[in-house]
Amino acid sequence: MTFTPHGKNLIAGEWEASEKTFASQPAHGDAHDFSVGTVEQVDKACKAAEEAFWSYGYSSREDRAKFLETIADEIEARADAITEIGTSESGLPEARLQGERGRTSGQLRMFASHIRKGDYLDKRHDDAMPDRQPMPRPDLKMVQRPIGPVAVFGASNFPLAFSTAGGDTASALAAGCPVVVRGHPAHPGTGEIIADAIAAAVKACNVHPGVFSLIQGNGHDIGQALVQHPLITAVGFTGSLGGGRALYDLCAQRPTPIPFFGELGSINPMFVLPEAVAARGEAMGKAWAGSLTMGAGQFCTNPAIALVMEGSEGDAFVKAAVDALAEVGEQIMLTDGIASAFRKGSERVASHGSVQELIGTACETRNAKPYLFETTGDAWLLNEDLAEEVFGPLGIVVRVKDEAQLLDIAKNLEGQLTCTLHMDDGDKALAGKLVPILERKAGRILANGFPTGVEVCDAMVHGGPYPASTNFGATSVGTLAIRRFLRPVCYQNIPVGLVPEF
């Protein structure tokens, strides 16, 4: 199946063009023109979403589950075309796109199964006690209910799993909330073909067409109009700290503020503990290099920082990482803008007099090779900007002088998506001191692994204290993600038949 984008925006079931267009910038293959969405189209999509909510928000869990499964089926029916346009636009290898497509359809099916079970409703019932003294108690029923239309922003680094039909869209639709997606300009053709799959599912399941819209563009005005539209009740976002914070502030400044669920950035520190590094430092250093450069380092869970004690055992870990990274060839980055930001971030780190460059390379195109730097624990604690995320294959080894400094560094960390402990049995006492600190810093704590694989399952948490995300009580991966788009409602003495789900 060959797919040629038509470049229109999907507004409540209709493909609409606009006068202004922008051209895609594929890693390889042909560029295509796409309509830039208008404020009027945003308004039309949001009003259609509100209209759809009155039926879709009150539809049965079984109907919504079938809708999610049909979207997954329609995505799989376009598998080859999705891979073709996705690899062209992003430069990601075919295997990566195929795996990501499976993850996208898989999480749609996971949410279908999840809502069928009904546990997410968190239903609670206190029977009436009319004879209770000194006052009777009313009948009280509580259930989670969908909040209304949701705005979703596609992510640059995951053209499928975190974009048009990704986790934010899947969880919002599962909750009963219509979705308006702001497509990411890095992969507009991929967004279009996924939107086409959703539109086909809308027709097949006879769902109100306002349940989903896709608006493309390469500027900021459409995103601003979307988050400020009075009918939007929440926003899901994956992207940069600067862009996310700007949208977060807009949400807070609305006459009626709304929640902004932003996953923004993380350096995902690894604590390489003494017994582990002594026993297998070389193997861990080599494995770290592989995780650090996976997908050209363009994962929000990229483990950019390795905290290693001073000493010869740590030297072996660092040497193994250097040797492995030296063998890594150029990798294409997702966009020219990301490549440019990577170069600037690398230059910022290298400019510190306290930082030693272990692996350096010239990156003047969209291609990138890894950087590795080393600094001391003292310098790390004195230079806060070393802890700023550099999106790409860049790592920093922090040589720590003792356990006290390691704990001090842990306590001074900002919020993270992940923290990792590389440990052996002899490290348990030190790990026991770290875990209470790290659980206040991160949404996911790992032992003896690497965080670049995010399992899609019930127990996963992909979020953390700011700046990892803007809402520390939420996750964008896993079935708990549905709770972002629900709110509890208590029904007091409401007759049977009028309380949803009871």
Which residues are the active-site residues?
A: 263, 300
415 with 442: CB under 8 angstroms? yes
Instruction: Return phi, psi of residue 61, to 5°.
Output: -60, -35
44 with 174: CB under 8 angstroms? no
What does DSSP say about strands 367-368 and 212-215: parallel, antiparallel, or unpaired? unpaired
How far are the Cα atoms of 92, 333, 336 from residue 364, in angstroms, in the given order? 19, 12, 10
Lookup: tokens for 462: 């992909």
CB-based contacts of 331: which residues, under 8 Å, 6+ apart? 293, 295, 296, 367, 368, 369, 393
Q: Would you give the distance in Å from CA 64 to the centre of its chain?
A: 23
Residue for token pair 């086409």: 196
* 102-116 CB burial, b ≥16 within 10 A, e <16: bbbbebbbbbbebbe
Burial of 15 (0-12, 13-18, 19+ CB in 10 A): middle
451 with 420: CB under 8 angstroms? yes
Query: How large is the greatest C-alpha to C-alpha distance in the chain, in angstroms?
Result: 80
Instruction: Return phi, psi of residue 222, to 5°.
Output: -65, -45
Q: Output the CA angle 481-487-491, nearest 5 degrees.
A: 145
| Cα–Cα dist 237/468, whole Å | 12
| Cα–Cα dist 18/41, whole Å | 9
68 with 60: CB under 8 angstroms? no
What does DSSP say about strands 416-422 and 442-447: parallel, antiparallel, or unpaired? parallel
Lookup: tokens for 264: 């923004």
Amino acid identity, residue 99?
A: G
As a whole number of Å, the CA-based R_g of the chain is 24
139 with 128: CB under 8 angstroms? yes
Whether the bond into 130 is cis, omega within 30 of 0 = no
